[in-house]
Structures are given as C-alpha cells and as structure tokens.
Structure 1
Amino acid sequence: MRAIGIEGGSGPAEALRPVEVADPVPAPGQILIRVEAAGVNRPDLLQRAGLYPPPPGASPTPGLEVAGTVVALGEDTVRWKVGDRVCALLGGGGYAEMAVTDGRHALPVPAGMEAVQAAALPETVVTVWANVFEAGALRPGETLLVHGATSGIGVTAIQMAKAHGARVVATSRGADKARAAAKLGADVSLDATTFDLAAAVREAGGADVILDMVGAAYAAINQTALNAFGRWVVIGTQTGPLAEVDLMRLMLKRQVLTGSTLRSRPADEKARLIADVERVVWPWVAGGQVRPPIDATFPLDRASDAHLRLEAGVHVGKIVLTV
C-alpha cells in the first residue's frame, strides 16, 4: 500500500515522502480500515522531528486519527463487521491507504457525515474529553479558558464546552482568528497580540478550567486568570516546558495544575475514553453541535504541504489528508 514515510531531516519537504509498504494485518481484537481521510495533528509534527516517537508496537507511519471503511477483522473482534464506516483513534499509521487499530478505539461515522469531517474528530474529541471534562471536571455554568482557540483542539474545545452548557473565553493570535473563535461560539474572544490576557480574563469573570497548549509563556497569565478551586490542564508546551509557578498562589486559591498526553495511554484506558465519548459527545456530533471546521485538505502525497500549513499557524480548524 501507499503510505507516508519519515526519511530523515526535520523539515516537511525533506522528511515526509510517499513510500510503498506492506498492508497491515489486523491482530486479535483489531480492525483493518481502508482509509479515506486522515487528520493532521501537532503531535505528527513532533514525531517528524524525532521528538514524539510512537509507542511500542505502533506503526512508525505518522497519523493518529482516520475515517474509512472496515475491510477485515482480527480474531475475537466484537461489534464491527466488514463494510462498517468508522472513524478511529490510532497509535500511529494514519497517513496510509490502510490502517489497523483496536476495535474498541473506533466510533461509527454519523449518518450523512463525509469522511473528511469524520477524520477530524477522534484525536481532538478524545483529547478534549480527557482533559477538559475528566481532568478539568468542567461543569455547566463554569468558564473554560481555551488558548490557541482556532487550532483543531481549540475549535473542538469551544464547541464541546458550549454543548455542555459552559461559558468559553478564547484566546488566539490576530483579529481574524479572534473573530473566527467568536463565530464558533466563544462568549469572549481575545486577540492575544492586543489584550492583557490575564486582566481581560479576570474582567470576564476568571476561568474555572484552562486548556493550555502554549506552555511556559502563559504560566503567569494562567495563574492570575484562574479562579479559586480552578483547574489548569496542560496539553502542550509550544513556548517551552519549563515554567515558573507561584506555589503560594496555588495553595491560597486551591488551584489544581495537571496535564497529560493521549498517545501513550494503555489500550484499555483509550477504550474507556472512546466509550465515554460515544455516550456523551457523539449525540452532540450527530446533532451538529460539535463539527470542527475543516481549514484545508491535501492529498496523501502532499502531507508535507499539510505540515507546512499547520506549522505556519494560519489555520482555523482541522487540516485533513485525503486518500
């Protein structure tokens, strides 16, 4: 089958090349998916640069989420049958014509949804669920602060929080992105290049939960913006992993600082997350409340162009490869 290999060099043009590899074979409990579309995510950029290797046993091919059709089943696979249309969370291998995954890590594609939209969902929706709703314990009526609000994760977080009945304060860089976040449902949308973010969030009532993909540069902003008993959840360190945290403020305001990654979690834990997403979030998806916008699509062989667009930071929503 055709896939995208990583062949040395950290730049997209040098590193990402179409290659021919053997078709994957589903192991017991797995399904084989004929891929129609694959989501492009920031962890893919890190893998390309050698900073986020796949977990043991996962495909070295990048790609953490796909949509397509089940074409084969491993032994003891339950629920799915050949011909089912699914979108799925992967440990790797999405940038290819075929991909395998644990059958418990797949979700049914909602009726009438195109593969490109479905492929934009699994990684982002599960990430937001695990971090905003589980670790952050966001409740209806509370306020979620989302940094990087027009990223794939950001737009999904806005929509999921609003579907849950929460308020959203969004930050992004530039007036156009701030307007885009507001159109997606953010109650307050701030241009990070013009606002004093900490003061503006406090003026808006502060944040009960913060979804932070920025890292070190926003640590002081987050602590100031966070309400008493607030939860600050870190899922990215784009400005660096080492931050100064005021521990006295942490204690006095009873704040919680936590963080996570998704890819390396055990298969059983991912299965539990997928089951919770299907139970709670999938009705929002089917009803149209959660439909992250598609910023751009690229054919599989142009994966390098997709990475360049993601790295440029000009996108609003998800970038997807078509197969």
Structure 2
Amino acid sequence: MGFSSFQGNSAAVRMLRAAAEGRRPSHAYLLCGAQGLGKKTLARIFAQALLCGGGPKPCGRCGACVKFLKNAHPDFSVVKKPGDKTAILVEQVRAMREDVFIRPNESDWRVVLIEDADDMNLAAANALLKVLEEPPPYAVFLLTAKSRRALPETIVSRCVTLELFGVSAEEAAGWLKERLPGLEGEELWRAVRYGGGNLGKSLAFLEQDSVRRGYEQALALAKALTARREFDVLEALAPFDGDREGLRRLLSDFDGLLGRIAAAPFAPGDPDAEELSRRIQPIRAAALHDVIGEVREALQYNANCPLTAALLGARLKTVMEARAL
C-alpha cells in the first residue's frame, strides 16, 4: 500500500510524500485523529517510504520494502502498549532511546513509530521528551494519538502535527465498495452513516458482529428514551451493569447517534436518526451529549460500574422529561 491508495486527508498525504521523496523530513511527526481514520496506516506508509530504496516511494518491490512489509527491517521499530498493560511504560521508551542512537544499518534513517502515544504514562512521556529535545540527525519519530490535547505540550511542540479527518459519504461509499465487491443498497449506506466519514468504523460495522450489535444497543437505548418508559431504559442498560468496557462502547455509539439525530433536520437520508429526531430535538440531543461526557469522565476515574449505569439512565431520563432546556 502506498500514498496513492490512502483514502482522504490529501494535505497530510502530500506533505508526507514530499518529505519522503526528496525534502529532508522533520525529526518528529504527530498524527492525530479518532480511531479508524488511518493514523497508523499512514504512519507506516511514510516509514516505508523513508526506508525505500526504489521509486516512487514506497515502491513495494525493493529489498527495503520487502523487509518492511515482513516486519523485518532493522532500521524500523515500533513502541506500543503491551497487551497486558494499561500504558506504554518508561522501560520501553528507555530501551528505544538506547537503540535509536545506534546508526542505521541499511538506510539513511532510523524510523521509530510510537503507536497510541497518548497511552504513555508520565514517566514514559518524560523519557521520550529527552530524545525529542536532542535527537540524532538520522532519527525520525512518528507518533499517533487520538488528540494532541492528550499529550504534554512539550512533546507536541517538538512535532509536526497532522490532524486526520473523516472523508465524505460518497468517498466512504466508494472505498467500501472497492473493499467489499457486491456491497450496495441500505447495507452500504447504513455502514457509511455509522462511520460518519471514519472508514475504519464503517468497515468494522460490516465485518464485526460485535460492532453492529453495539450500535443496535445504542439505538434501542435511544428508542427507549423517546418512548419515555422507565422499564425500557433500564432494560436497555441492563447488559452493561458490570461491563465497564461495554458501557464505554455504548456511550461512544450513543454519542455518535446523537450527533446524527441533531443533524437529521438539516441532512435528510438517515432513517434511524430521522425517526428519533421527531422526539429528540437538536437542543435536547446536545444536553444528552453533555450527560454522556460526564459519565465517560466518571468511568475514566474508575467509578462504580453498576452505579454509573443506573445514574446514566436516570440522568438521560431527566433530560428527556425536562420541559425547557
């Protein structure tokens, strides 16, 4: 996969392509955006292009590209959160820092990809800052994160920051049809609407039963709220009584649905949102969004999950019953 096959975000793609094809790259780049927008994919394309010995970069055929695609290039390394940990650890960053001062073996650059850099703990972030302040001349650091605000400003200020955004509905539909021949009709457009321009989310909706099930649960919660039957709301939240991660996913899906509901009066063509928008006006959707944000924050600080789910139901119901907002 090369730059030309990356969908959307043409300004970021042009900048990285130019850096790989002749201009001297910066010593650090930060790619920001929601999960599913392709941050890691674009970072890897850029890394491969920097190490590529052919052209146009990345050529996909030279020895360097073959090694890269087999995860065997000696001048490319990845730092990411261990599967059994909640953060990137300082020991990982220190080990990377020692390796990066060894000159490249086979290319002009030593490239380090730090996936989900916003998962670093404070000690790891401080260790990374030291090498970003005085990097070796041949090192290129690529960081990905959901938001630049999730990283210390001292790190952000030492990176070229590229924000990735979603694509248009038409671009998303075209990309999905290329990936999944035969996909069409309401199945296609329901996935496009769910993704909201996020290709990774749309693809997951089509390929993962758990993602579709999560959306249906968010839809059931919204319908329960519009029916204003307390038992229906409790029933919609019951599966998440002790499931912290499941509740987080529900909040994310429900929040995405609220955005579509708020936009429905101005952007027809979304049957799920249009039906709900008759009872959830934009101002009420905004108030529900605020509740979701508060509950998300509570979960982040290890609030009691069953109590939080019960509180969520009560808060959402209060917003729906309010006469004036």
How high is the TM-score relative to the length of structure 2? 0.29
How high is the TM-score relative to the length of structure 1? 0.29
Where relative contact order (Cα < 8 A, 6+ residues apart) is larger, the structure is 1
**Larger strand proportion of the pair:** 1
